């Protein structure tokens, strides 16, 4: 797991540390879990020459999952869309557009 080392007085992130156990806080620094999207934001800020604060990196919107569950009505809409586009659009493009696996798209195409 990655952790941000945060200066307690300024709330600036001063380092990122990988550790199997949570580091211990002290009077000067505290530690926060660093998730991948937050790490991306942190590194972008550093490349731009900024010294990111904890609020800057925590403000990152959560990443969308690669595959989203569909409701019954969304699945019907997806099947209808696949019927229209499967001959002119790749399976990968349809899977990306609907945020489902390529296997899901292939299974729908088999039933057409």
Structural domain contains residue 53: yes
Are 8 and 53 members of one domain?
yes
For residue 22, pLDDT over 70 is answered with yes
pLDDT bracket for residue 110 (50, 70, 90): very high
Instruction: Find the mean pLDDT for residues 50-60.
Output: 84
What is the sign, positive or negative, of the torsion defined by CA atoms of 40, 42, 47, 48?
A: positive
pTM: 0.54
Closest CA to 11 of 46, 57, 48, 43: 57
Query: What HEC string does the chain produce?
Result: CEEEEEECCCCEEEEEEECCCCCCCCCCEEEEEECHHHHHHHHHHHHCCCCCEHHHHHCCCCCCCCCCCCCHHHHHHHHHHHHHHCCCCCHHHHHHHHCCCHHHHHHHHHHC
**Domain range for residue 44?**
2-58
More reliable by pLDDT, 62 or 70:
70
Are 6 and 48 members of one domain?
yes
pLDDT for 82-95, tens place per residue? 999 989 999 988 98
For residue 66, pLDDT over 80 is answered with no
């Amino acid at each position: 797991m990655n952790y941000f080392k945060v200066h307690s007085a300024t709330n600036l992130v001063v380092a990122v540390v990988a550790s199997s156990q949570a580091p211990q806080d002290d009077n000067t620094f505290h530690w926060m879990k660093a998730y991948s999207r937050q790490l991306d934001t942190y590194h972008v800020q550093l490349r731009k020459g900024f010294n990111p604060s904890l609020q800057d990196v925590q403000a990152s919107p959560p990443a969308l999952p690669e595959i989203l569950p569909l409701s019954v009505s969304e699945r019907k809409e997806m099947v209808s869309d696949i019927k229209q586009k499967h001959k002119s659009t790749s399976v990968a493009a349809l899977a990306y557009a609907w945020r489902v696996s390529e296997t899901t798209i292939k299974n729908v195409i088999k039933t057409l």
